[in-house]
A and B are shown apart, each in its own frame.
Chain A
């Protein structure tokens, strides 16, 4: 997994509530082997004829390839498709700042090197108001967002997830170190709840 320490650059403001993972990436783009970054937010970014919609904030030249996305409430709600994270990263996004996230999207982000930052809605709005004023920096080590105005905003990420992202840790490798514990738990469970294990029918 790609590690994340800090990122600096433009922050695109997509201040809509409940942007779901179907809107982030349509299901058939996942199954057809398409360039996910190109098709991210396609219903928002492109007109029916496939040309970029000049009205869409994500198509403003200053936000092309922006590594930070400022989003509305409940970003990434809906489907568990991990391709939603891949699609954002395909656009160049490494960090999404929002008042809240869909729980599965939030978990998937950490598994792929995308940092989701939760900040109070009024703070996200304040940051969005500065999105055309210059670059932002998000630093996971110090857990701060620096706005173009110089304002520093603190955020917090669980230590387990922070360490995983900072070091690009492999969860499966870590868990496999507990194989003996897992095996012992299963042996005891086979006695305690035998019916769970009776699946040969």
Chain B
């Protein structure tokens, strides 16, 4: 019977059928970070249980560590406490811990792919909703809460209900100045932030096939902002080339054997999806959010929408509240809106390709007066690579702060935040109320758009620079 990519991976991991679409699934990879890792490890310790397969679990601090240049584990005191807990509990359980300053430390969803811990066809979880990022390599990857994380630590399995399946085909050639971030923001704006609820989303089409792996990771990253727990892309030659030679990627004959099995991971021609969408990428402009939900997006040459235009009263109220919070006026062009902060980083857009994209714009320019602009590489490896390429120098010369790897201003759980009332352009994934700091106003955008905004001091169409 014809099967989708998702079904092939799901079926291969069912240990027991629990009925009504539920299954006991094997979990091949489990990532722990400093916020959700310690409580999950504590929970199983409290029950007197051991970690089932510590060799399949990997830990690194990212959420609560300072990104200040020259930082150490204690630069943010509370983060230091979480760091100590993650490190001591991981080591006690024989879980590999990637420490600060070591290759491997970084945002979990950046370090996982870069180390080759994430492989096509594996199941992977983390106590983090952006675990869907890792589906960009053809893995079945999803976020869980700490209770499910504890369950997986103790049993190497999870009880899961098979989701419905959606395929989104991005077709055509993308325009100049348009990036994977713009494609996925456009999609969320078109379908709404709840469209993916209950679904796993497979991204396909000519634009995805032409896209480097890093871009696919960005697309999959924002699946959860579309409401979906899972996003994935069928692995192909680009995927195999990306993985070959990485630290935990199988080597030699084992790699060839793995690739042979990974070549089977695609949706069959007549496989059935519960929902299909086709997006013409040629029509997509650089895109930014105007509100406090990732579905509240407009092209950079658009105007702030009028809440009164919404037919539904709940929707009108929600949009008006977003406008009030963001301090924007309906009907005004979004381009030209003055900004105070720029954040280039996060599991969405902190990979080497993202930093190159931003640096290409920053080169020879300077951050506008009054704007604070940070670049936070996603991992120690990204940081070293960027420094080897001289990107740090380009950023510093242009007036950006070049910082240490971690989640930083995306989640504001490390003592770093955007001040109340300040307007930030951020390459992260959530423009929620208070996400980047109490009262902070966030516009999500691509790395190129964020760099352009930093230089101009206002939201700017990157195509005009």
Q: Note whether A and B form a binding pair.
A: yes
Footprint of B on A, CB under 8 Å? Answer: 15-18, 20, 22-23, 26-28, 30-32, 43, 48, 72-74, 77-82, 85, 100-104, 107-108, 111-112, 125, 158-160, 171-172, 175-176, 178-179, 181-182, 185-186, 189, 193-201
User: Considering only CB atoms, which chain B residue lies closest to A159 in the complex?
Assistant: B20
Nearest CB on B from A16, distance (A):
5
Footprint of A on B, CB under 8 Å? Answer: 15-16, 18-22, 24, 26, 28, 35-36, 44, 47, 49, 52-53, 55-56, 63-64, 78, 82, 96, 117, 119, 121-122, 127-129, 143-148, 150-151, 154-157, 159, 161, 163, 193-194, 197-198, 224-225, 227-229, 247-248, 250, 254-255, 257-258, 261, 293, 295, 314-315, 317-318, 321, 411-413, 420, 430, 432-435, 438-439
A15 to B119: give the CA distance in the assembly, Å.
42
B229 to A195, Cβ gap below 8 A? no
A38 to B212: give the CA distance in the assembly, Å.
46
Can you report 12 residue pairs joining A to B where beta carbons are below 8 Å apart?
Answer: A16-B321, A17-B314, A28-B413, A78-B224, A78-B432, A103-B228, A160-B159, A175-B157, A176-B49, A178-B24, A196-B119, A198-B250
B197 to A80, Cβ gap below 8 A? no
B82 to A172, Cβ gap below 8 A? no
* CB contact under 8 A between A182 and B156, given known A43-B434, A100-B197, A103-B227: yes
B26 to A26, Cβ gap below 8 A? no
Contacts of A181 in B (CB 8 A): 15-16, 24
Contacts of B47 in A (CB 8 A): 172
Nearest CB on A from B399, distance (A):
29
Beyond A20-B293, A80-B36, A107-B148, 15 additional contacts (C-beta under 8 Å) are A15-B314, A15-B317, A18-B194, A18-B295, A23-B433, A27-B63, A81-B35, A104-B145, A160-B22, A160-B159, A171-B147, A172-B49, A172-B155, A196-B122, A199-B55
User: Considering only CB atoms, which chain B residue lies closest to A79 in the complex?
Assistant: B129
* CB contact under 8 A between A78 and B129, given known A18-B318, A176-B154: yes
A48 to B439, Cβ gap below 8 A? yes
Contacts of B228 in A (CB 8 A): 103
* CB contact under 8 A between A103 and B229, given known A17-B315, A175-B155, A182-B15: yes
A104 to B229, Cβ gap below 8 A? yes
User: Considering only CB atoms, which chain A residue lies closest to B26 in the complex?
Assistant: A185
* CB contact under 8 A between A17 and B318, given known A22-B433, A78-B129, A172-B150: yes
B250 to A80, Cβ gap below 8 A? no
* CB contact under 8 A between A108 and B157, given known A27-B411, A27-B412, A195-B258: no
B227 to A102, Cβ gap below 8 A? yes
A74 to B194, Cβ gap below 8 A? yes
Contacts of A160 in B (CB 8 A): 18-20, 22, 159
User: Considering only CB atoms, which chain B residue lies closest to A32 in the complex?
Assistant: B78
Contacts of B193 in A (CB 8 A): 18, 74, 77
User: Considering only CB atoms, which chain B residue lies closest to A74 in the complex?
Assistant: B194
B434 to A26, Cβ gap below 8 A? yes
User: Considering only CB atoms, which chain B residue lies closest to A22 in the complex?
Assistant: B432
A78 to B430, Cβ gap below 8 A? yes
Nearest CB on B from A48, distance (A):
7
Contacts of A28 in B (CB 8 A): 412-413
A80 to B127, Cβ gap below 8 A? yes
Contacts of B55 in A (CB 8 A): 197, 199-200
B19 to A159, Cβ gap below 8 A? yes
* CB contact under 8 A between A107 and B144, given known A18-B295, A102-B227, A186-B156: yes
Most buried by B among A15, A18, A31: A18
B119 to A195, Cβ gap below 8 A? yes
B432 to A158, Cβ gap below 8 A? no
* CB contact under 8 A between A74 and B318, given known A26-B438, A31-B35, A172-B150: no
B147 to A82, Cβ gap below 8 A? yes
Identify which of A18, A27, A101, A107 contacts B293 (C-beta below 8 A): A18
Query: Which 3 A-B residue pairings sit nearest by Cβ, starting from the closest?
Result: A195-B250, A82-B145, A74-B194
* CB contact under 8 A between A182 and B28, given known A74-B193, A103-B197, A194-B254: no
A189 to B56: give the CA distance in the assembly, Å.
13
Identify which of A27, A172, A178 contacts B413 (C-beta below 8 A): A27
Contacts of A197 in B (CB 8 A): 55-56
Contacts of A102 in B (CB 8 A): 197, 227
A182 to B157, Cβ gap below 8 A? yes
Most buried by B among A15, A104, A200: A104
Contacts of B248 in A (CB 8 A): 198-199, 201
A181 to B18: give the CA distance in the assembly, Å.
13
Contacts of A172 in B (CB 8 A): 44, 47, 49, 150-151, 154-155
* CB contact under 8 A between A82 and B229, given known A31-B64, A186-B26: no
Contacts of A175 in B (CB 8 A): 24, 151, 154-155, 157, 159
Contacts of B261 in A (CB 8 A): 193
Contacts of A176 in B (CB 8 A): 49, 154-155
A10 to B32: give the CA distance in the assembly, Å.
39
Nearest CB on A from B152, distance (A):
10
A22 to B159: give the CA distance in the assembly, Å.
26
A186 to B22: give the CA distance in the assembly, Å.
20
A178 to B194, Cβ gap below 8 A? no
Contacts of B225 in A (CB 8 A): 78
B433 to A112, Cβ gap below 8 A? no
A185 to B144, Cβ gap below 8 A? no
